[in-house]
Chains A and B, each alone.
Chain A
Amino acid sequence: MEQLTTIGLNHYLTISAFLLGFGLFAVMTRKNAIVILMGVELILNAANINFLAFSKYNGGMEGVMFALFVIVIAAAEAAIALAIVINIYKIFKSVDVSSIDTLKE
């Protein structure tokens, strides 16, 4: 029961795996581009949890540093992605990704 009572690495990894799963699910199933972006944020944060968890249990600061970078880049990515979504909306009058398929054929 010690495994259940003490919060260890596995708990973090499990949470992270769930988060990744939710993120992927959102990305794969939603049609709204903004929801997909939110799914991507979930995936990135799942990765962040992993970085911090491994950093905590291995000692050292590398994981923390990476997590900070990921957060910064995710912010930048969100800004760019939202700008793209706004432009797509201007052109297609929609943020539905299934209707944005003019590159096909």
Chain B
Amino acid sequence: MHSLIQLSIVVLLLPLLSFVILIFFNRRLPRRGDFLGVGILGTAFGISAYIFWSVIVQTYDPAFRIAWDFTWIDLGNVPGVGPLQIKMGVVIDNLTAIMLAMVTLISLLVHLYSTGYMAGDKNYGRYFAFLGIFTFSMLGIVLSDNFFAIYIFWELVGLSSYLLIGFFFEKQSAADAQKKAFLANRVGDIGMWLGILILYSQFHTFSFEQIYANLAAGKFALSHGWLTAAGILLFMGCVGKSAQFPLHVWLPDAMEGPTPVSALIHAATMVAAGVYFVARIFVLLTPDALHVIAFTGALTAFMAATIAITQNDIKRVLAYSTVSQLGYMVLGLGVGAYSAALFHLLTHAFFKACLFLGSGAIIHAMHHEQDMRWMGALRKKMPWTFATFTLATLALAGLPLTSGFMSKDAILAGAIGFAKVEGGGIYYLIPVLGFFSAMLTAFYMGRQIWLVFFGESRTHLKPADDQHQDHHAHAAHDAHADVHHEEHEVHEVAWNMRAPLVILAALSVFFVYSPDPLDGGKGWFMKMIPTPATVVGEANHQIGDLRAPVAAPALAAVVPAIEAPAAEAGKHGGAEKDAHSYADMRQAEIIHAGHAAHFTAIYISSIMVLLGISLAFVVYVFNIIDPEKTAIAIRPLYLFSLNKWYWDEIYDATFIKGSMLIANILSWFDTHIVDGIVNGVATLVRNFALLNDAFDRNVVDGMVNFTAFTINTTGAMLRKLQTGKVQTYIVMLLLAVFGYFVFYLTRLIY
């Protein structure tokens, strides 16, 4: 076993250890054991950083991959299935190494931050235990080398998310939100499991490597449509976990959880797991499946951005922004901009975690005020938060010199290239939606910054009854309840909440990733995470015939990165390589076109971002356009956005009402038909029993009584013969002997 594998298993198990210790013993430990959680995560991060260093910095090989597995459950020869072994394993490649470091770093920072944010909560120890199990599950997803293991950890992540969203479970809204999140995730997970089963039915293995090798060798016996279906079903897991349309509804509600949890789970890691999973299955996605993914991502990005511009809750704006950015990542994978999408995953994880932790600091300082309408003028009071929040906002909006700029532009360039290769038309909708969402992102983040940090403090403007209600809602924070002052005294947060903000903000700057602020492609990330060669062998001949001769010579020069995995796939496939070379060609074309569109994307997106920021300035800073009057002027659109496109209402009217209706019908069926049958049978049985009873009483008992009566009567008669006088008996004896003689003699005579 490679030493890095051993270390990665240690990293995986450390948070589990934290969970086990804290869930059982937190009340016996000083400070409820929070130092243990932070310390263990610190160790895990240290080891992960070493793995990152060994893999990315020292090895620096795009095709780096080590794996190790063992048979977890051996069911032997199952009848009807054949030999069934379930394996567990660990794979470390560049993506794993980066994700490992990212997850443990953000988890560590969130642990540290929570020691300030959650201080005094009555379930303080349990909170850290839950963070531990979440980190364990997330690392499990990152390290798994097969579908079965990843599915287990996938569900564990869903469970930890459920536990953490409902951490303040005394609040009805939190309890509802956790239920909603769990159910929405389950819908996606069902699809994912079906997808896994399609693949398993063909190859009798769960291992990524073996399935892809078999696919590359053309051993998929079902039709091409089945492979597309498998891809889309697997993508459904991502739709649920990464809050893509149409299962995005749970993520904004998940903001009921503690804010550090929102930063860790609902911004940086868990929701990124869906994107990570699609990246893992990227090579088996057919062009059709990729189109579905691309359109889902584009629609999600646009829809969430339009909703975010009207939300007033500081965390909800960020939540919709997260949904929108996840849409970008999914869009990126769908258009084949694999490296860019994962690059955005990484950069987004840092700046969005920073934004959430910043909003947590604001909420903490404002004594659980979350409505941006009643904030304002926090710039002077919270300089650290202001600086880091602004830097992360610039990264999210995608201004040059930030990490978000590079990754978002790489995705948009990929989208333009994709639209070109696919032949334009409707496919241009994807980059157009992407650019438009970029503008909206800049606008709503500008709005947020202005409302929160600039202008006059509007705390006093809050309606009194609203305030009261708000305090009541947060009664769960009993430790905070007693520090509510008459006048809110806002101050900067302590060092343990400030340090994570600074670290995360520093990771949102361009030079961490690439020396050239305009081109992420020159950075280590894009070099280390090349697009893997697809293993799908079906050709779309129409475009292939048109483009292949043109693209082929340029291919080797522009994208040498994809050569290594392609050679690996060729090793498995051999002769079949030529049969599916078209799929590689299409991929290469898209990458090539994406590179060509690089500067176009930069220009358009910069213009869009500046447009968005200018609009925010025009509306909120210079007050040239009054937002309230505008809202009234375009009231239907405003309400459409404010009410989140009415998705909750639609689901309520269709799925919830529908399932209630079905439940009512079934309930009626139960009470009337099923119970009717049961009652009918019972009546029948009862009547039969009554009949039986009458028979027993009259006939059977009658016979018994008659027998007794007969015997009694006979006995009474016979008793008279028993005189007790010897002489009577002798007479009878004589009579009997005489009778016998008579009988015997008559027999003799005749």
Q: Is the Cβ of B725 less than 8 Å from the Cβ of A98? A: yes
- Say yes or no: A97 contacts B726, CB within 8 Å: yes
> Is A7 an interface residue, CB under 8 A from the partner?
no
B727 touches A101 (CB 8 A): no
Chain A facing B: main interface SS: helix
The reply to whether B727 and A104 form a contact with Cβ atoms under 8 Å apart is no
Determine which of A24, A36, A98, A104 lies in contact with B722 in the assembled complex, contact meaning CB atoms within 8 Å.
Answer: A104
Task: Convert A30-50 into 0s and 1s, putting 1 for each residue whose CB lies closer than 8 angstroms to a CB of B.
Answer: 000000100000000000000
- Bound state CA distance, A28 and B733, in angstroms? 11
> Closest 10 interchain pairs by CB?
A104-B724, A101-B724, A28-B727, A103-B724, A28-B730, A28-B731, A98-B725, A27-B730, A101-B725, A97-B726
Nearest to B731 among chain A residues (CB) is A28
Q: How far is the CB of B739 from chain A (nearest CB, A)?
A: 16
A-B contact list, 19 entries, CB within 8 Å: A24-B730, A24-B734, A27-B727, A27-B730, A28-B731, A36-B727, A97-B725, A97-B726, A101-B723, A101-B724, A101-B725, A102-B724, A103-B724, A104-B722, A104-B723, A104-B724, A105-B719, A105-B722, A105-B724
A35 smallest CB distance to B (angstroms): 12
Chain B positions 261-295 with a Cβ under 8 Å from a chain A Cβ: none
Provide the residues of chain B in CB contact with A97, threshold 8 Å: 725-727
A103 to B726, CA, bound (A): 11
Binding site for A on B (CB under 8 A): 719, 722-727, 730-731, 734
| A: interface residue count bin | 10 to 19
Residues from chain A with a CB closer than 8 A to the CB of B730 are: 24, 27-28
Q: Which residues of chain A from 69 to 105 have any CB-CB distance to chain B below 8 Å in the complex?
A: 97-98, 101-105
CB neighbours (8 Å) of B726 from chain A are 97
Question: Residues of B contacting A24 with CB < 8 Å?
Answer: 730, 734
Q: How far does the alpha carbon of A69 sit from the alpha carbon of B540 in the complex, in Å?
A: 133
A29→B728 CA distance, assembly (Å): 10
- Which chain A residues lie closer than 8 Å to B724 at the CB level? 101-105
CB distance from B286 to the nearest CB of A (A): 108
Q: Which residues of B contact A36 (CB under 8 A)?
A: 727
Report how far A105 CA is from B719 CA in the complex, Å.
Answer: 9
In Å, the complex CA distance between A105 and B723 comes to 9
CB closest chain-A residue, reference B724:
A104
* A102→B723 CA distance, assembly (Å): 10
Rounded to whole angstroms, the CA-CA distance of A105 and B731 in the bound complex is: 20
Chain A residue with minimal CB distance to B723? A104
Question: In the complex, what residue of chain A is closest to B726 when comparing beta carbons?
Answer: A97
Min CB–CB distance A47 → chain B (angstroms): 15
Give Cα A36 to B730, complex, Å: 12
Interface string of A12-32 (1 = CB under 8 A from B): 000000000000100111000
Complex CA gap A24/B737 in Å reads 13
Docked complex Cα distance between A29 and B513 (Å): 143
Contacts of B719 in A (CB 8 A): 105
> Could you say which residues of chain A place their CB within 8 Å of the CB of B727?
27-29, 36, 97-98
Which residues of chain A are near B723, meaning CB under 8 Å? Answer: 101, 104
- Which residue of chain A is the closest to B734 with respect to CB atoms? A24
